Structure 1
């Protein structure tokens, strides 16, 4: 993989970020909107905005999600944002929708550490699927979030922030999956244990594609497709679009045993960042699912063999002394044939100064024009 480095210039995390890791150490998703990129960190409850300049991406602005959408735990609980995309004046975000297994502390007795490893937690903020109006100022061209605002092209319409209907501290999607023959048992397993774990979001109108890091079933990765509808001005629900009037469709892809870490639309295709489902070092690759957007529109479900997805390239990851570092987590098209890649747990070589970090730009072929800059 031949890559051009580009620096992301972040400001220090605000005090409410607490003792969580710095923003640059946990980048999990990215999308380009106009002259800006919007990024998410897998800890905390904010979205970061950077502007493209001659020095890379600068002018860091932090948007706290609790100011725009209701969060059960407010700013104190991490949303674990793992997917973002932009279309029709809305930025959409998804949490991981997965359980969390506690890490053992470095200090303490063996008995205590083993007990900590047995604890599984449900954090309500992780079960968020939401849209937030994202509109450019007509004079400065700066993009800002709004809880509610006039549609920039039609003053008679109002754009409103909304979340997927809640269900018992989770939401309508995970409630609908409770009886799913493939996924129901994995809802009770933490994401890093090959349990249910959403990582990746891509839009096509009212359709939302959600990539699953886990589970991977006998080597097959899963993409869920849902279609949203308005319940009220601040709540969205799911339409019945799948077999037997299910509120979702399932698409199974042969990605050589890897789970999905990110999705981004590219013309009629979907670009897929794939990697290990478990918390380990392993191959990370970018695939192109050709014609995915039209092919899935009228199908109730699909199974996509390896020969139908093009493996574009592998992305190097940390090894040896850098084991567990430089894990590609987010991709977005920044031009017709340029893909921006951001990394979780960057190595020391990627860090610059106290808060900055280096991402990569990679050239790719294909017809991507219809989706860039929407």
Structure 2
């Protein structure tokens, strides 16, 4: 059996450094707001190229805290609108709703599965305050078009980078220096998740926000600590969302290998691209729309087929595990059906009906990949 993602094997590949780091924290007697968290925040800010990083309890909280902070700073108000791709994990929309704002669902481009800036422009109203691009599957959205659109309408750009740790934008962005920029440094602020299955994953929940905005970072940090910057003194109606010392220590061990693992993911994607009989199988993939480069870290390798479920059963019967990201789009979920269930979003629905994720762990061998390709190509 080839697992979709063998987390036990991945974490074992960081030993003994991983266990040593956990023991140091365990023996330190300090488990929140300590040296390990401060060190990782500094390391991750430097890695992303931002001035600030604030650790949070998870990725959903990271996004929510950005919006809550903008509300406290007077940038946004209750009921203001945020343009967000319709084909994303539900957490992206929940973050907007939790902050008392209104998601405006934008169709993606089927070729990239990322937000369509031209369609986004049609959704802008006097209440629009931000665009929230999601770097879905590990591929950067077209940040040049998004930033130019945001500049024209004076909107904030907030990245959902939960699947794009380490992805690099090599083109010029409005207002940014002419140099490669990583995910997390492509807009006004960004949110990351360190869920264990991410390219940079903890051993439990964890998240972070990155930004150059000192006031935003300070406000996020305060809101995440019950609205406090001084013990027992509360300026905001905050929440409790902290990256704990154990998870921060794990992430500091894993961060130095992130680029190497992402290179391996791109190598595997290239082998898939060259080996799968796309035409005969009537499959499509986002890898055919651009060169495989640093703008895609392949958190997920998506393929699309009208016979998705049949194809998944076939691969599983031959010992190859796959996943679907995601089977039900947010606007069709029971939780959001009342507000958004009547919307017609055919591109989004096609993506969710046809997407299948092939294994792309950086620890897969070339022999594993060839076995997956050989099996895929025998499907009739």
Query: Fold conserved (TM > 0.5)?
Result: no
TM-score relative to the length of structure 2: 0.26
TM-score relative to the length of structure 1: 0.27
Instruction: For CA contacts below 8 A with separation 6 or more, give which structure has more relative contact order.
Output: 2
